[in-house]
Structure 1
Amino acid sequence: MALPYCSPSPKVGRFQQAMESVYGDFCDIKSPKDWTPPPASGGHRGRYLWTDAFGVINLLTMHKEYNRTGGVHMQDDQYLTLARRLIETVHQVLGRTRDGRSPLPGATEHNPLGGGLRIGKTDEDGPDCDGQYHHYLTIWMFALNRMAVASGNMHYNDQAIQLARAIHPRFFVDRKTARPRMVWKMSMDLSRPLVSSEGNLDPIDGFVIFRLLQATAATTGDAHVLDEEIADYRRVMDRKGQHFVSKDPLDLGMTLWTAHWFAETEKWASSLVARCFEQLYDLFEIQRYLERGIRSRLAFREFGTSLGLQCESEQSGDRERATDFKNWADAIIVAWDPYMELSAPAAVTPADLRPITRVMYASALIPGAFCSGYFGPESTLKKGSGVV
């Protein structure tokens, strides 16, 4: 595996190594527009939606990191082209039935995401079978949105909105009432719930991501395209009241990441960040979690923690808290760095080397495109009034 010959920093080199361990050696790609991503994302037919969403976002980070140094590692738009090819491949595989013969029900030639996107689970049946997760779909919408922002091609945000409109009503129960609720997992064809319980983060994920999509759409004159859907999420948040803050590292990290988009402007988000800080302080400073042996920890869950900590630390007006966040994020990376080397020692478990772990390690090294403002000032986000 070749190291980038003009890597802006050793951290970017490690970032690229992690990505290449899943997607192959980028230096060997002669024609990016013809690249076929290897079927190595850890899912059915080689694609897994969460892993590939991180893959797309990381490729956008690589595009920005290499181009802003002034050096030429590849053609200026090569990583954008690779991101485009990964997006197309995911849609071709996970937007179709498992046998690949038909689009998912609801999809059409003009609306290829009208049937949603499968998770990519390896099993067709059973307790951990394939289906559709709301939080996987929203992270894919975010990837499409960031592709639109990074490339200037609004087609990708349009696709994200098509996906949002297609899947949104399927995850809601009593949607038109004052107290709607959501379901955690739907069948592959979105016809029935597979897990009827409500995901802890799903309403907030939808509330934030749909607003990002709408803000981007507003730049081309469609400022209200998802008003109805955003209002649905707001009612679920109102029904649930104060958001439950988990003690799980990944859940804490993704909560921080979601909230960081509004933490400096909206009370619900700033309050959520403050409560995450309390849990993290207890976990890291009182329980001394970061001093535990690696064998009792899960790498990819902690990389999600590090990602959220860094995104929020960049936005926070509370400098003391931001410093704590950054120090904890760095401590996670330092703990796992030796085990993420390609010649990983025997102490690391197979789960630590899964594709999902590798792409999340890259994101934790350089959150980049996950962070608000990374590609410049964000489109104006309408204040979500009424949410506390």
Structure 2
Amino acid sequence: MASQAARLQRFKAAMEKVYGSFESAAEWRVPPLPGNAGHRGRYLWTDAFGVVNFVTLRYATGEGRYLEAAKRLVQTVHDVLGRTRDGSSRLPGASDMEPLKGGLRIGKVDETGPDGDGQYHHYLTLWMFALSRLAEASEEVRYNDLAIQLAQAIHPRLVVEKSGNGELSMVWKISTDMSRPLSRSKGHLDDVTGYVVFERLDSAAHRLGRGDDQPLLAEKEQYWDMMTRSSPLQSSTDMLDLGMSLWVAQFHSRRGNEPLQELGTDGINTAREIFVERKGPGSILLRSAGRRLAFRELGACLGIKCYSHDADLVASADMLAEFWGNHGEESTTPDDLMAITQVMLAAALIPGDGRRLEDS
């Protein structure tokens, strides 16, 4: 198994494939994502992991220049994805003083169609999480304030009354201007992730000196109602979905939150079946790299390493992450997924500070 120093070296190499040589913060400028990975060079999911990974580098090395890189990346994302596709104006509802009041585009290359641009709940909450992590690492509350601004802007557009009896549900995708839904249902984990991330934003606001108020209390109560309406919560055998189930479950695993404990337990049982118990020809570790998508499997590795203390399971996740570090070029991953694969590889190698604040 690779040493922590070797993992850190590979972590940096993966990030450099996406963001170029960033070791000199004074000279580094955020490059467009490689491989046509996003509209006008930006893609929200990839850059959210980019920000979190820069924060991880700060904690791993103690060097503040990585926070400067994270801040530049945040500004670049807001300047591109917080504006209309032609770049001529901010999204409706936003201003220079409140740049996220109009939400954020996710950066799909196509403007319309089944894989067209829009605002996706699971991308937006990941970006909020990244902003909050940067706020706490830098002790600059304005980044958490921006995350709360984004949360308050998008929540009433994505949480809707669907049944006519006052019962709330969600849509997972809305138009770039937030004027209409582009889906009929919520994503598997949207309500759960919304609750956890909004709780993190409120907690960070308190730790960073914004007082005891919970600006997102009403929104959290709506998410809680939706996520507890049907129980128990279950994960998925889809590798990325499994990983994100475990990633989100980690944040309340020590606080007696029964629904999230159920989600985590189900996720670990599913992960053990996939990673540890299937040792024959059906094992994922024995399949040809050319038949798989690396970034989805790396999501599972990330979730396992964030949530689990099971030595066999964590070792299997480490083996898979290292496999993709060595064999990524053999994957069927197309060029436009190269960037997301590399940031997910870095996160799977060293998940970062996900548990740090739970212990505080």
The TM-score with structure 2 as length reference comes to 0.91
What is the distance in 2 between the residues matched to 1:30 and 1:108?
28
Moved more, 327-336 or 108-117: 327-336
Provide closer, same or farther for how the CA distance between residues 215 and 177 of structure 1 changes in structure 2, counting only shifts above 3 A.
farther
Task: Say if 2:52 is the partner of 1:60.
Answer: no
Per-residue deviation at 1:177?
Answer: 6.2
Contact 1:178 1:235 (8 Å CA) reproduced: no
d(CA) in 2 for partners of 1:290, 1:181? 38
- Kept after mapping to 1: 8 A contact 2:228/2:259: no
* Structure 2 SS opposite 1:194: coil
**Partner residue of 1:153?**
140
Counterpart of 1:19 (choices 15, 22, 29) is 15
Aligned equivalents of 1:101 and 1:177: distance in 2? 41
SS in 1 for 2:285: helix
Match of 1:349 among 327, 332, 351: 332
Superposed displacement of residue 295, structure 1: 2.0
Q: Helix, strand or coil: the match of 1:173?
A: strand
Tell me which moved more, 266-275 or 223-232: 266-275
Decide whether aligned partners of structure 1 residues 210 and 117 sit closer, same or farther in structure 2, where only a CA change above 3 A counts. same
- Equivalent residue in structure 1 for 2:259, among 268, 272, 278: 268
1:79 corresponds, among 66, 75, 97, to: 66
Contact 2:231 2:259 in 1 (8 A): no
1:376, distance to aligned residue in structure 2 (A)? 8.0
**Take 1:30 and 1:43, find their aligned partners in 2: how far apart are those partners?**
24
**CA deviation map 1:86-120 (0-9, x unaligned):** 00000000000000011001112221100000010
Offset at residue 273 of structure 1 (A): 1.2
Hey, what does 1:309 align to over in structure 2? 304
Instruction: Give, in angstroms, the shift of residue 288 of structure 1.
Output: 2.1
Q: Residues of 1 paired with 2:347 and 2:139: CA distance?
A: 22
Residues of 2 paired with 1:234 and 1:82: CA distance? 35
**Distance (Å, rounded) in 1 between the aligned partners of 2:347 and 2:284:** 21
Unpaired segments ≥5 residues, structure 1? 1-6, 68-75, 317-321, 379-388
Inter-partner Cα distance in structure 1 for 2:33 and 2:315: 33
Describe the shift of the 1:178–1:262 C-alpha distance in structure 2 as closer, same or farther (beyond 3 A). farther
| C-alpha displacement of 1:84 | 0.3
- Tell me, what secondary structure is at the counterpart of 2:346? helix
Deviates more, 1:324-333 or 1:132-141: 324-333
What is the aligned partner in structure 1 of residue 91 from structure 2? 104
Paired residue for 1:290? 285
- Please list, as runs of the form range in 1=range in 2, the aligned pairs for 1:173-188 lying within 5 A after superposition: 173-174=160-161, 179-188=167-176
Letter in 1 for 2:352: G
Cα distance, 1:18 vs. partner? 0.5
Q: Is 1:254–1:304's contact at 8 Å kept on the other side of the alignment?
A: yes
After TM superposition, give the deviation of residue 264 of structure 1 in Å: 2.4
Q: 1:250 to 1:350 in 2, by over 3 A?
A: closer
Q: What is the Cα deviation at residue 263 of structure 1?
A: 1.4
Given that 1:164 and 1:210 are in contact with CA atoms closer than 8 Å, whether structure 2 keeps it comes out as yes
Aligned 8 A contact 1:36 1:89 in 2: no
Distance 1:109 1:249 in 2: 39
Q: CA deviation at 1:26?
A: 1.9
2:39–2:107 CA contact under 8 A, matched in 1 = yes
Post-superposition CA distance 1:302-341 (Å, at most 9, x none): 111011100112xx5xxxxx2233122112123222124x
Structure 1 match to 2:5 = 9
- 2:159 is the alignment partner of 1:164: no
Name whichever of 157-166 and 239-248 sits farther off: 239-248
2:191 touches 2:227 (CA, 8 Å); kept in 1? yes
8 Å contact from structure 1 (residues 8, 66) kept in 2: no
Structure 2 partner of 1:39: 32
The answer as to whether partners of 2:55 and 2:137 remain within 8 angstroms in 1 is yes
Maintained 8 Å contact 2:293/2:331? no
CA separation of 1:247 and 1:348: change in aligned 2, threshold 3 A? closer
Q: Distance between the aligned counterparts of 2:222 and 2:192, measured in 1?
A: 11
Q: CA contact under 8 A between 1:200 and 1:244: conserved in structure 2?
A: no
Q: Does the Cα contact within 8 Å between 2:247 and 2:304 map onto a contact in 1?
A: yes
C-alpha distance in 2 between matches for 1:357 and 1:149:
26
Q: Mind listing any 5+ residue stretches in structure 2 that lack a counterpart?
A: none
- Distance across 2 between alignment mates of 1:328 and 1:195: 36
Q: Secondary structure at the match of 1:193?
A: coil
Aligned CA RMSD, in angstroms, stands at 2.0
Where do 1:86-97 residues align within 5 Å? 86-97=73-84
Q: CA deviation at 1:282?
A: 2.5
The partner residue of 1:119 within 106, 115, 135 is 106
Residue 350 (structure 1) shift: 4.2
C-alpha change, 1:30 and 1:214, in structure 2 (3 Å) is closer
Query: Could you tell me how far apart the structure 2 residues matched to 1:292 and 1:330 are?
Result: 17
Deviations 1:111-150 (A, max 9, x none): 1100000010000111110001000000000000000110
In the other structure, the counterpart of 2:346 is 362
